[in-house]
Structure 1
């Protein structure tokens, strides 16, 4: 199929969908409105930064949220650690949030040159959505595959 035919088909289809009549306000069920409100993603507040980083790092590294410990916060960077699965030592990382994207970098490595932010085209893109005490983490890998996780992260840190 030629590119011009695909473009024309897309334009024709988009024009058709805009004319559907919206239901009158008195025809919308109360439950539907309430469901939409509860499904609306939350807005990230400064206090959510450690929660989002814990969820993001847990999803990225296959850890439980409860295993990600916050070591400190310096400006907009969260410093975290967790038990290394192989030798029982500790792994360390910095985490930051830009918009709805979580980025991280390993820290405390023997070779500081390897301590780079994982935000290049060859790295997964990690996005989040706040949903109350749950945080939805969506990873898109360079090959186009995706993973999604819903992680419970309470403000006080008591989670699992």
Structure 2
């Protein structure tokens, strides 16, 4: 795989899969800006999730549009940590760059539930993990990217991804 001279990567997966950690390391290695999609949620949506209510598609569309706008504003490349759970959500993000590549951090719900349960000061409760897995659509054959086991050390995930995609 080759993501070209302006790497734009979405590190995707369910909450607790390690998107922010891996995304920060990847952005640093690529020398591009990094953003966490959680920072683009409105206070109302964060409160909704904190109350244990999963987001609906109507909640997500404006958020995804803000994320695509941010990616468009980074023409030299960027890394975005974003759940991007459905193909249709990824379609919105793909409007931002024809070089968009996905790194899906994949693994078991049991591991994620433990991770999310140990988080401090985060609005996403462990009770919503099952709803994230119910929504998740793995990358399809028409989508540019790859899945890597999120239980690997973050540095190893980034190394494996970069070996596979070989950004120039």
**TM above 0.5:** no
Taking structure 2 as the reference length, the TM-score comes to 0.23
Which one has the bigger helix percentage? 2
Quick check: which has more Rg, 1 or 2? 1
Determine which structure has greater relative contact order: mean sequence separation of CA pairs < 8 Å that are 6+ residues apart, divided by chain length. 2
Which one has the bigger strand percentage? 1
